[in-house]
Amino acid sequence: MADLRFSGIGMTSARTRDRLIQRLREQGIVNLSVLDRIRNTPRHLFVDEALGSRAYEDTALPIGFGQTISQPYIVARMTEALLEAGPLRNVLEVGTGCGYQTAVLAPLVGRLCTIERIGALLDRAKERLRELDIRNVKFQHGDGSGGWKSQAPFDGILVAAAPLALPQALLEQLEVGGRLVVPVGPEGEQELMRFTRGEQGVRRESLGHVAFVPLLGGRG
């Protein structure tokens, strides 16, 4: 029964997932490891059962508390952008949400530290990752805009919500050569950015327009 739950049937089956992967390829995702993780991560387990039949549509879906699970293309694009220059040892994720992005990214890096401000979402994410036997994740309930200083420096940081401006604390916790992928800007004007920290400064690249929930402070 557990295997069937993970592998899915009908609109959550392997055939449905393969159609999603073909769509992501057509949109420009080329990293085979990322595509494999999208194919094999049971997204239907990260949404409410009533939305399970829509889990492999390339769309964001509500997960409660005013939050959404990102569309698969965005998860794939951000993961690919983070990993583009090579393997990462110690990565920070700001905004665990339901844990889907965490589940896609964690097996591709050495260790993943993830922060979520809403306790109920964090508890749900922990349960799902435990079910999937993903063990290289360290969780924190807190305000991710300040990073996670005790676990820094990071060679990769991924932010799954949009600050109005880049939090300086995140750049400060990025090691030289490290990469930060983050949506920045107000609603309707957000850009997905990649910052690479060098010896002489920070290089910034725009990866296109996106739409994310805002990055909020405090704990919920």
Question: Does a cis peptide bond (omega within 30 degrees of 0) precede residue 107?
Answer: no
Cα atoms in the Cβ-side hemisphere of radius 13 Å centred on 121 = 26
Q: Which of 33, 1, 3, 40 is nearest to 18 (CA)?
A: 40
Instruction: Tell me, yes or no, if 70 is annotated catalytic.
Output: yes
CB 136 within 8 A of CB 111: yes
Tell me which of 33, 70, 145, 206 is the catalytic residue: 70
Q: How far is CA 100 from CA 43, 167, 174, in A?
A: 7, 23, 23
So which residues are the catalytic ones? 70
